[in-house]
Structure 1
Amino acid sequence: MALQTEAFVFGAAQNVLPARLTTSQPAKAMHEVPERGAVSAAPLAACGLGLLAGTRRQGRRTTQKRIQCCAVAEKEKTKTKNERPVFPFSAIVGQAEMKLSLILNVIDPKIGGVMIMGDRGTGKTTTIRALVDLLPEIPCIADDPYNSSPDEEEVMSQEVRDRKAGGEDLPLNYKKVPMIDLPLGATEDRVCGTIDIEKALTQGKKAFEPGLLAKANRGILYVDEVNLLDDHLVDVLLDSAAGGWNTVEREGISICHPAKFILVGSGNPEEGELRPQLLDRFGMHALIRTERDPELRVKIVESTREFADDPVTFREKYTGDNSEFATSILEAQDRLKEVKTPPELARKISEVCSELNIDGLRGDIVTNRAARAYCAFDGRTEVTSDDVGKVITLCLRHRLRKDVLDTMDGGDKVEKVYRAIFET
């Protein structure tokens, strides 16, 4: 694949980023020669994830308004003093697997979410908040508790649909993409919704009080230490994330509301693994490790200190990088519908899944979707074998476990089978 811009280079599938590129400095133009199977990309140095800034301009008209909203939102975030400052996404060092998995899920939420497993104190929550922070605000119906979209019916509550069908003029407001933290002690009623006790006592009416799934609609639901959460709650979350709707039956009330969100779970393997049946429901699986390079550790410590001392000034240094990332993500979302996967590549993906003896077809489906999202993120419209190589380990490694006592494969087995099928 020809070099299109000044480029950073992805490493092999297991090392998504070469260590020499994981810097936290503001973006500077750098030139690297692509290695075998590497993908050329635009110089977004602060994060280190490779992507093309977009030499094609055909789809820009459809995203121009959203990009302008993103730029305005970023400017306001830097200036607003009342809001809690968020660490810039482009300033985060390393953890390329996690960042790539999150970005691909934002581009195509139908991938099915991310399970992030790794050491404590490796910036899992910080990275997720940073990604949400750089996304533009979304239009919502002003008085709707489900963040209903004014245009997309699949994320619109039934009440809003009825009002829209009746010709009512629905007021709009713009909100940040919601990010909901699910605490470990949450009950099923709190998650799914329950009866509004106040209205029942004061007005004698049965009314529904939306839960966390309603608030997470069109956003991200983050579950820290998901491996410690009750299995039945994990099932509820996965069902809602897959179907996009939540149905509640409580005390004679039947409510069905949109709950389309990206489910992100994190945990420490030392505290136990999820059952294989639940792991399989997550679209991607990212393994993160504590950074061992002393120089990079020093950079992380220094950037953390600078952010703590003066978050506004620190964020201003990365405003341009964040805007470039946001623009690339928005363009990829619009480009995704044009991306095609050649039949031969789709057949080889299924060959890999068959050779690995993966149960079901989720592995085939998710790998195809993730490869298309990666291709769109890279500024192209036809999937290549390199695109598949960058995502296949993230999509399949957690589907190899057949028994709860098995250990998680680091990805070597997936990589070996991929090379045997794709490189012959």
Structure 2
Amino acid sequence: MLDPNQLRKDLPTVVERLALRGLEFDTERFNRLEARRKAVQVETETLQARRNAVSKLIGQLKSKGEDASKELAESQAIPARLRELESELAGVQAELNDWLMTLPNLPHASVPAGKSSDDNVEVRRWIPPGVEVDGQGNPRPFPFETRDHVTLGEPLGLDFETARKLSGARFMMLRGPMARMHRALAQFMLDLQTGEHGYTECYTPYIVNGSTLFGTGQLPKFKDDMFWVTKGGQDQDPERDEQGNVVASEDLYLISTSEITLAGSVRDTIVPLQSLPLRLTAHTPCFRSEAGSGGRDVRGMIRQHQFDKVEMVQIVHPDTSYDTLEQMVGHAEAVLQKLRVPYRVVLLCSGDMGFGSAKTYDLEVWLPAQNTWREISSVSNCEAFQARRMQARYRPEKGKPEYLHTLNGSGLAVGRALVAVLENYQHADGSVGVPEVLRPYMGGAETL
């Protein structure tokens, strides 16, 4: 959520930076709400002061034996008006907060202006040693007919037909070598992030409540992209806590990323300063309805309703978040370099960033069958945007608690990494090489 204090103190800057994201901020609406809020607060403070003055005056009159009936009548009327003002203020603040919940984060000053992915800026690319490149710096085509990951994977256990029968479109089933390589990739990524980069491995719920999704920014904007969960029927016994009390029902959703649960773990928390930074990672399935995909990537594993990811989340002091962003990009790059697949790092423009991000880098892997680069990781600094929604704070050495900064990134999307390995390690006979770093997880196998 945007900082209400920044809106009040520097509205032109907020308007300007939101415009870079293609959003026209309704200044008239904000000024109207702000004027009403100020008027209510001024009247409230005036009445509170008057209540104190009248109370003192009543005491003085009574001590002198004088009539205080007029003052008593006034003092009895004040609380009712204060309750009305309190209710009115709550209504104004609720309208403002509900509106702010729908507004994206402000882009950082270093983010290039732009409207779409065409305006993103390539920062660097990495080509494995020994891989030849063409005049555009892309890997040269194979000296044989290039197969895509579907053609390569189906003889090795990639099964879309059974998944379609079980669940419908945009699902997959893996068997044998494909299932093992998928598991190997996830284990390798977890071992790398925990063993070399200092992340704590977590196992998190796959189902979360709406409050958690509001905190990390998926709700209300992306409700249609979530899978909702219905608990039993109307006759089901109510859920109870450990004391036997009935727990209020709340909508439940399947997670679209473990960023939701990892970042959400500090909701309504004041983190001790000495505990920062928190580095968390998890391997989970992720569920997305792909409501906004427009029918893209129907073939293959690129865009699925269910997929796996190894997620990285860091929760840090605000002064270190942009150094942490660069560090996390390096942590994602390390996965691809050890897998020895070509990739490039792209800085997203203001119009192509995610809702909660202030600055985002995408890692795009080379897919020979498509002859193009495809996103495999997105690493973002959300600054205090999520923390403000979650009320996630830290306690500085002096002063009041302040909002944390949260960062998230894929380290990596497992299915897309499998696609990258299949296509970049293919042989002329249709077999697929096993990257050296995966062989210990694959029983020493060098080829599938």
Fold equivalence (TM over 0.5): no
More strand by share: 2
User: Whose radius of gyration is greater, 1 or 2?
Assistant: 2
More helix by share: 1
